[in-house]
Chains A and B, each alone.
Chain A
């Protein structure tokens, strides 16, 4: 069974939580719904929420917190 990909719509820096003191939006293994926020992308000092965009289970993040991402890069995968 192939996994579904969640790609970054923007280039920037990826954050898994809204601040260093709060838990991540999603933990590895969580289920996600299309409207759920899975992280933030910082683009030129502004922050944009990244929605999952699809429903799935057992999320795995392929990008670490505070790592640079390119537009179109796969941030996470889920099981359908």
Chain B
């Protein structure tokens, strides 16, 4: 069935992005919103808007009953979950289908399977995708944990089986620390995720975070190449690139093929991302997890492949076969995305909601700004701090960095602090230009190099 109307079960910039894709396909859009979001851009752009509850996410964007009721009332064909909130909640996907509508994403069963870190690791092994040395599934008790640590060596990461998004992770350096932290991690996982199950992995100390965009229609499976997401602060991505710079071609081919093998193993349907750690020294890559949804950083893939991933999600969810075969998917040039957050980089990245008094967005070849902002908009304090994503494309990476620095200089958001100064400093940084980064690069760089260029923040603010 071709989708003719959709309810967007999300907010912020991704809701805007989904509405734009739907409009391009002639699909009627219904936007849900919390009481704090009545003025958001997605509400203004949608054909219809429905208030689903109080500002707290669990009373609105995480309230399955309220969203299903809104979808029924609006009589939509489909629900798009975006990212975050209920996007990786298998029960939500099932509830949408049970209500007679299409969930734009994989089945609830696939979401649950791939969302369980232990089950996903087993699927990866079946598909011959390399995994980080660690426990085979959940660790039964502290004695088993000690035996695993002695086999794989310290440092060791303890992870919540039901965790994700960088949460529920502890790193231990010794047996003594393991004995101390293991019960705490289990109690914390039980409290945070309702599941105290833990698994263990060796820490790859100097790794790059590289991920592969996959797409499936349940029968055909393709990759849209990889993204480099190593620049992170507190395990949250800050800056992403496509393709991964200085990744040897043979490695790239094996990496992308392994992601397709994993998608094939589960008969994947929709857009997804397979995340890996890549150890440059040993030239080994290791599977971390699958995200069964559209990713924040999907635009850089769109910029280098020319594919509209969100439109493709609508088509495949409506029952169409994939519009592309692997040989059709080619890359051109280089793209970088900067996540512009409402945080003050000069004050320890303190989040700062507020009202946008002036907004000026750069335009030109290869420049895209996906945002929730408009002049006069008041950013509410109840949700994450992402204001928008500046995405810049050019024929090669050096040109892309130059164009990015210029675009950042011409992006003006007044009325609240933003992370634009951080990105400007990164765009001009010699180590970033050389591509000499890994997942712990940014935090040490912030302490040394960024402190030294603090004048940049004064200049831009």
Q: Which residues of A contact B (CB under 8 A)?
A: 10-13, 19, 21, 42-46, 66, 68
Q: How far does the Cβ of A27 sit from chain B's closest Cβ, in whole Å?
A: 22
Say yes or no: is B38 at the interface (Cβ < 8 Å to chain A). no
Say yes or no: is B385 at the interface (Cβ < 8 Å to chain A). yes
Q: A44-B353, A46-B351 are in contact. Are A13 and B56 (CB under 8 A)?
A: yes
In the bound assembly, the distance between CA atoms of A46 and B380 in angstroms comes to 13
- Chain A residues with Cβ below 8 Å from B385 are 44-45
> Are the C-beta atoms of A11 and B56 separated by less than 8 Å?
no
- Chain A residues with Cβ below 8 Å from B55 are 13, 68
> Are the C-beta atoms of B191 and A19 separated by less than 8 Å?
yes
In the bound assembly, the distance between CA atoms of A11 and B381 in angstroms comes to 6
> Are the C-beta atoms of A10 and B191 separated by less than 8 Å?
no
Say yes or no: is B342 at the interface (Cβ < 8 Å to chain A). yes
Say yes or no: is B36 at the interface (Cβ < 8 Å to chain A). yes
Say yes or no: is B383 at the interface (Cβ < 8 Å to chain A). yes
Q: How far does the Cβ of B308 sit from chain A's closest Cβ, in whole Å?
A: 30
In the bound assembly, the distance between CA atoms of A68 and B383 in angstroms comes to 12
Say yes or no: is B402 at the interface (Cβ < 8 Å to chain A). no
- Chain B residues with Cβ below 8 Å from A44 are 342-343, 351, 353, 381-385
20 A–B contacts from the bound complex (CB under 8 Å): A12-B381, A13-B55, A13-B56, A19-B191, A21-B191, A42-B381, A43-B353, A43-B381, A44-B351, A44-B353, A44-B381, A44-B382, A44-B384, A45-B351, A45-B383, A45-B384, A68-B36, A68-B55, A68-B56, A68-B382
In the bound assembly, the distance between CA atoms of A13 and B55 in angstroms comes to 9
- Chain A residues with Cβ below 8 Å from B380 are 11
- Chain A residues with Cβ below 8 Å from B384 are 44-45
- Chain A residues with Cβ below 8 Å from B191 are 19, 21
- Chain A residues with Cβ below 8 Å from B342 are 44
Q: Which residues of B contact A (CB under 8 A)?
A: 36, 54-56, 191, 342-343, 350-351, 353, 380-385
In the bound assembly, the distance between CA atoms of A43 and B349 in angstroms comes to 12
- Chain B residues with Cβ below 8 Å from A68 are 36, 54-56, 382
Q: How far does the Cβ of A10 sit from chain B's closest Cβ, in whole Å?
A: 7
Q: How far does the Cβ of B116 sit from chain A's closest Cβ, in whole Å?
A: 24
In the bound assembly, the distance between CA atoms of A19 and B54 in angstroms comes to 20
Q: How far does the Cβ of A55 sit from chain B's closest Cβ, in whole Å?
A: 27
Q: How far does the Cβ of A21 sit from chain B's closest Cβ, in whole Å?
A: 7
Nearest A residue (CB) for B349: A46
In the bound assembly, the distance between CA atoms of A19 and B384 in angstroms comes to 20
Of residues A19, A21, A45, which shows the largest number of chain B Cβ atoms within 10 Å of its Cβ? A45
- Chain A residues with Cβ below 8 Å from B56 are 13, 66, 68
Nearest A residue (CB) for B354: A11
Of residues B54, B351, B384, B385, which shows the largest number of chain A Cβ atoms within 10 Å of its Cβ? B351
In the bound assembly, the distance between CA atoms of A68 and B36 in angstroms comes to 9
Q: How far does the Cβ of A61 sit from chain B's closest Cβ, in whole Å?
A: 17
Nearest B residue (CB) for A43: B381
- What 5 pairs between A and B have smallest CB-CB spacing? A44-B351, A12-B381, A44-B385, A11-B381, A43-B381
In the bound assembly, the distance between CA atoms of A12 and B381 in angstroms comes to 5
Q: How far does the Cβ of B17 sit from chain A's closest Cβ, in whole Å?
A: 20
Q: How far does the Cβ of A72 sit from chain B's closest Cβ, in whole Å?
A: 13
In the bound assembly, the distance between CA atoms of A66 and B58 in angstroms comes to 11
Q: How far does the Cβ of B42 sit from chain A's closest Cβ, in whole Å?
A: 18
In the bound assembly, the distance between CA atoms of A68 and B382 in angstroms comes to 8
In the bound assembly, the distance between CA atoms of A45 and B84 in angstroms comes to 13
Q: How far does the Cβ of B281 sit from chain A's closest Cβ, in whole Å?
A: 35
In the bound assembly, the distance between CA atoms of A43 and B380 in angstroms comes to 9
Q: How far does the Cβ of A9 sit from chain B's closest Cβ, in whole Å?
A: 12
- Chain B residues with Cβ below 8 Å from A45 are 351, 383-385
Choice from A10, A19, A21, A66 contacting B381 with Cβ under 8 Å: A10
In the bound assembly, the distance between CA atoms of A45 and B351 in angstroms comes to 9
Nearest B residue (CB) for A45: B384
Choice from A13, A21, A43 contacting B351 with Cβ under 8 Å: A43
Q: How far does the Cβ of A41 sit from chain B's closest Cβ, in whole Å?
A: 8
Q: How far does the Cβ of B60 sit from chain A's closest Cβ, in whole Å?
A: 11
- Chain B residues with Cβ below 8 Å from A12 are 353, 381-382
In the bound assembly, the distance between CA atoms of A46 and B348 in angstroms comes to 12
In the bound assembly, the distance between CA atoms of A79 and B55 in angstroms comes to 32
- Chain B residues with Cβ below 8 Å from A66 are 56
Q: How far does the Cβ of B133 sit from chain A's closest Cβ, in whole Å?
A: 32
Q: How far does the Cβ of A34 sit from chain B's closest Cβ, in whole Å?
A: 22
- Chain B residues with Cβ below 8 Å from A21 are 191
In the bound assembly, the distance between CA atoms of A12 and B379 in angstroms comes to 11
In the bound assembly, the distance between CA atoms of A10 and B353 in angstroms comes to 9
Of residues B342, B350, B353, B381, which shows the largest number of chain A Cβ atoms within 10 Å of its Cβ? B381
In the bound assembly, the distance between CA atoms of A11 and B353 in angstroms comes to 8
